[in-house]
Amino acid sequence: MDKNFYITTPIYYPSAKPHMGHAYSSIIADFFARFKRIDNFNVIFLTGTDEHGLKIQRAAEKKNMDPLKFCNEISKTFEDLSQTLNLTNTDFIRTTEIRHKESVQYLWKELEKNDDIYLSKYSGWYSVSDEAFYGEDEIEEINGVKQSIQSKSKVEWMDEESYFFRLSKWEKPLLDYYKKNPDFILPNSRKNEVISFVKSGLKDLSVSRKSFTWGIKVPSNNDHVIYVWLDALTNYLSALNYPNTNDKLYKNFWPADLHLIGKDILRFHAVYWPAFLLAAKLPLPKKVYGHGWILSGEEKMSKSKGNILDPIKIIEEYGLDPLRYYLIKEVSFGNDGNISQERLEDCINSDLANNFGNLCQRVTAFTIKNCGSKVPKDIKFEKEDLNILDRYKNNLSKIREKINNQDINFYIEFIVNSLFEANKYFNDQEPWNKKDNQLRLNTIVYTTLEIVRKICFMLYPIIPQTSLNALKIFDIKEKGINFSTIDNHSFLKKDKKINKIDILFKKIEKKSE
């Protein structure tokens, strides 16, 4: 049977150009997509832009631009960033596309048909920046300005006719679902926040706006546009051609395996989204993971705070793979993390150039000189060789399990340790002192080459381009990378020519030293 995997990033607001926080969500999603692909899954990886609502309308007005033209421009910068980050997304959805509009209006009609939507009036606080409603107990006043306690974004009073979704009706079914599916919300610390929010009582949710027009119209009442979050969340379905539930994409990939999002938008994904789906009698996604923030100093990096770091600039200075490696390794997954140029340079010099790059160069140079540029043929594994090789075999299913629990920290730690051990093995075995024992020399070389191959396979989801550059040693192309082979100690064909490769990472001369 085919194994399918559907992963999504949030769709980004094209209110301003992308920053490091957005790059982070996307790179992590790409990591999972690539891992699953090399583990023989068919992967749909969706990203895109969330283009309706007052936030975008105002951003366009500020520039005196028609909102669609404005979105076209900025959405393009997100699409370009996908390329720059070497993402393997299989689709890029824009909520201004017809396919999406049709899905949203259909879903709306389903909710109406099932009596989950009614017309009333909303009076309360609204943050345009978050596109979210807040209760009195969720706001504070600082210097005469009312703001959300949680996000610190300004709120404004809203008083208008609005359609409501009967969110309150779904309180119990949601709690039941969380209980039955303990992994639906991860990490656990965040799950508890969501559960207490739901337990504290859900109020019906305003799901339409009348005071502006930039959005998808309510099908039965064109004076209203659909609330931007109901519109945006539906992107996960519209990309699978919903409402055509007979469509192959929908049939094979819904429900989504993983909605990867930032912790600030967990409520929308773990409460509102499953409630909409329950009301529409659709299956719920399997997992929502709320990752931490990239901080700038103590604060979340965000455009409104003016503390953004441009991923493109970092990539221009250091290269893409160092940035991908750094974000995956140094921001402990699930927690917030700071970006520091110094730590990034340390990662490049120590992990990437020294521990990985050097190892590849050393073993290839040694093979060229001492084994006729070929993968050695006559070998005999000893205990110390099997010790290091067996680590992969013994951990194969554990690594899979950890990835299924989004434990990226385990994965990267495994690689860092593997690199350390591989270097230690090569140094301790001293193949340069075994020239009078060709069998032993061959075996050490074979073992080290096998380890390099395994590490390259495991590094592929993190630093894809460099992994492919290193795999040129063995003439292994992208299609040849298969995670299930990391337990095979005899994957490399004996007597096959190996190739010299270019330097993988240049060391950075540290400004701070």
Residues interacting with ligand MSP, by CB under 6 A? 10-13, 21-22, 24-25, 50, 232-233, 235, 261-262, 264-265, 293-294, 300-302
3-state SS track over 136-164:
HHHEEEECCEEEECCCCCECEEEEEEEEE
Nearest approach, Cβ of 123 to ligand MSP (angstroms)? 25
Nearest approach, Cβ of 50 to ligand MSP (angstroms)? 3
Using the minimum distance from each CB to ligand MSP, give the nearer residue, 254 or 457: 254
Using the minimum distance from each CB to ligand MSP, give the nearer residue, 16 or 368: 16
| Residue 248, CA distances (Å) to 47, 233, 251 in order | 19, 21, 5
- 455: closest CA among 466, 441, 440? 466
Nearest approach, Cβ of 273 to ligand MSP (angstroms)? 8
CA–CA distance, 215 with 49 (Å, rounded to integer): 14
Strands (E), 79-178: 91-94, 117-127, 132-134, 139-142, 145-148, 156-165
- 489: closest CA among 385, 398, 370, 383? 385
As given in the structure block, the two tokens for residue 53 are: 């609502």
Strands (E), 174-283: 185-186, 205-206, 208-209, 217-218, 221-226, 258-262
As given in the structure block, the two tokens for residue 99 are: 């396919």
Pairing of strands 4-12, 132-134: unpaired
Using the minimum distance from each CB to ligand MSP, give the nearer residue, 324 or 454: 324
Using the minimum distance from each CB to ligand MSP, give the nearer residue, 50 or 407: 50
Using the minimum distance from each CB to ligand MSP, give the nearer residue, 269 or 489: 269
Using the minimum distance from each CB to ligand MSP, give the nearer residue, 38 or 107: 107
- 74: closest CA among 19, 112, 140? 19
Nearest approach, Cβ of 310 to ligand MSP (angstroms)? 13
Nearest approach, Cβ of 289 to ligand MSP (angstroms)? 10
Nearest approach, Cβ of 11 to ligand MSP (angstroms)? 5
Using the minimum distance from each CB to ligand MSP, give the nearer residue, 21 or 464: 21
Using the minimum distance from each CB to ligand MSP, give the nearer residue, 301 or 449: 301
Residue nearest to ligand MSP (CB): 262
**Chain centre to alpha carbon of residue 56:** 24
Nearest approach, Cβ of 394 to ligand MSP (angstroms)? 35
Instruction: Find tokens 């190996």 and name the residue.
Output: 498
Amino acid at 405: N
Nearest approach, Cβ of 268 to ligand MSP (angstroms)? 7
